[in-house]
Amino acid sequence: MKKAYQTTNEVYGEDDKLTEAEDSLSLEVLERVRRTAWAGRKIYYFPVVDSTNDKARQLAAEGCPDGTLVVAGRQEAGKGRRGRSWVSPDGCGIFMTLLLKPDICPDNASMLTLVAALSVVRAIENQTKVPVGIKWPNDIVLNGKKICGILTEMCMDSGRISHVVVGIGINVHNASFPNEVSETATSLYLETGMHCSRAALIEEVLEQFETFYAIYRKTEELSGLVGVYDAHLVNRHRQVRVLDPTEPFEGEAQGITPRGELIVDTPDGRRLVSAGEVSVRGVYGYV
Ligand code: BTN
């Protein structure tokens, strides 16, 4: 017998039940729930793609505008950070990429990943009423395991940003994971018992992104967002190991700077860690 779970999303209403099988995703559904001003103003839905990030880059090259959204039912070559792959089975997750064409300094673009992380956190919390955290810089974690990863890629033209793609993968309905990632990966279903509507969650991520992005754009950095980011930072006041390829070190994470660097207090003094250069682990495990 198929199990049904309560869903908190507005699309289906408080009293309706949603099963994984009923959580259909299509262009029509995504357009029906769209309430944003510019994010997702043009939506592409593909049942199957190699990678939504690659598709968004291709669409950008073809002239698609700022705010274009690419969503897939599954990915055959989903990309993670540091050359890793992203598990992207059919119907289980959210595989989405937002195309941005911002007129900003290229040095400030990496902070967009943290803006996206905040958007996902706020969206999941609003949809599920379950508190989630951020493992610096942009892994979203629930009960110490990863439920979402973000891959931001920038394309330059003559020293200026031609476009940025912000790719977001959220594990929604997965009941299990391949051995390689099962120690660290989890899904919203596994942690909450709920089958959330992916369309409603995508819409909420876009709405939250519009809000946080507007704050970021005022200064082109994160000074207006440090407080809310630090409040969700699971590494805060914990010992972390910074896997710097030249010189790994340990210390206590304190929060982020307005440029999104992780502040780490070591026995030798304070160090600022930039995302992209290194990865950070908890001394006693993933977080
Ligand atoms: C990470 O390693 O944590 C980043 C994972 C990013 C996965 C998403 S899924 C949608 C988008 N398309 C991709 O190929 N990757 C990102």
User: What is the per-residue pLDDT across 236-249, written as a single tens digit (0 to 9) for each?
Assistant: 999 999 988 888 99
Which of 25, 44, 53, 153 maximizes ligand 1 atoms within 8 Å of its Cβ, making it the mutation to test the pocket?
A: 53
CA distances from 27 to 33, 157, 203 (A): 10, 31, 12
pLDDT of residue 17: 59
| 3-class secondary structure, 266 | strand
For 152-157, what is the mean pLDDT?
Answer: 96
Mean per-residue pLDDT of the chain: 91
72 close to ligand 1 (CB < 6 Angstrom): no
Q: Which of 4-13, 46-55, 166-175 has the lowest mean pLDDT?
A: 4-13
Residue ID of nearest Cα to ligand 1 atom 15: 79
> Is residue 151 lining ligand 1, measured as CB closer than 6 Å?
yes
Residue 200 has pLDDT above 70, yes or no: yes
Cα of 152 vs centre of ligand 1, distance in Å, is: 8
Query: Nearest CA to 229 among 143, 135, 100?
Result: 135
- Kindly compute the dihedral angle of the four CA atoms of residues 30, 101, 154, 39, in this order, to the nearest 10 degrees: -20
Return the residue whose CA atom lies nearest to atom 3 of ligand 1.
149
Ligand 1 close to Cβ of residue 74 (< 6 A): no
76 C-beta closer than 6 A to ligand 1: no
Question: 235 alpha carbon to ligand 1 midpoint, in Å?
Answer: 22
Q: Is 81 in the pocket of ligand 1 (CB under 6 A)?
A: yes
- Check residues 20 and 235 and name the one with the higher pLDDT: 235
Mean pLDDT value of segment 27-51: 97
Residue pLDDT, tens place only, 256-275:
999 999 999 999 999 999 98
Ligand 1 neighbour 275 (Cβ under 6 A): no
pTM value is 0.92
Burial 195-213 (b: 16+ CB within 10 A, else e): bbbbbbbbbbbbbbbbebb
Closest-lying ligand 1 atom to the alpha carbon of residue 149: 3
Of 207, 202, 172, whose CA–CA distance to 186 is shortest?
172
Which residues touch 135 (CB under 8 Å, ≥6 apart)? 141, 146, 234, 235, 280, 286, 287
Residue 18 banded pLDDT, cuts 50, 70, 90: confident
Looking at ligand 1, which atom is closest to the CA of residue 148?
3
pLDDT for 277: 61
Q: Residue 65 has what DSSP assignment? A: P
- pLDDT-derived band of residue 5, with 50, 70 and 90 as boundaries? very low
Count Cβ atoms below 10 Å from residue 63 Cβ, excluding itself.
7
Residue located nearest, by CA, to atom 11 of ligand 1: 167
The answer, yes or no, to whether any atom of ligand 1 lies below 6 A from the CB of 78, is yes
Is residue 6's pLDDT more than 60? Answer: no
